[in-house]
Amino acid sequence: MTKKIEFIESSGNLFEDVGFGKQEAKKLQFKSYLMVSLMKYIKGCGLTQTEAAKRLGVTQSRMSNLMNHRIDLFSAEMLLDMMERAGFRVYEKMENDITDFLSHAWPKTKTSKQSHVRHAS
């Protein structure tokens, strides 16, 4: 007997689709992107787990966790640090984006009765 398979449309975030709240799903998806990027980097460089661990400043067992998709064992900060050690300038990019954002005037809102005062540094 053939079983009918039902397909549903994805929200674009697998973690949200399987029941995580919107904010938690975004965090998990971000960590997943970082992990996949690191795995692609390691495989692309032809590194063993031991070589990759040394280059990324972690133990071989942590590298094994990464390669086995153990998302629950990594913080976003740890993954970002590993990305930096791999040569991705993620902190520099974020710092530039934030600096650019902060260099613009504060937006004026219709509901705000007080004006924001920016002090020159």
Instruction: Judge whether residue 78 has pLDDT over 60.
Output: yes
78 neighbors 31 (Cβ within 8 angstroms): no
Share of the chain above pLDDT 90, in %: 59
Instruction: Judge whether residue 86 has pLDDT over 60.
Output: yes
29 neighbors 13 (Cβ within 8 angstroms): yes
- Topology (CATH) of 14-99: 434 Repressor (Amino-terminal Domain) (1.10.260)
10: pLDDT confidence band, cut at 50, 70 and 90?
A: confident
CA separation for the pair 117, 119 (Å, rounded): 6
pLDDT of residue 14: 85
What predicted TM-score, i.e. pTM, was given to this entire model? 0.74
**pLDDT tens digits, one per residue of 40-66:** 999 999 999 999 999 999 999 999 999
CA separation for the pair 75, 83 (Å, rounded): 13
Which amino acid is residue 90, in one-letter code? V
The helix (run of H) or strand (run of E) holding residue 61 is helix 60-67
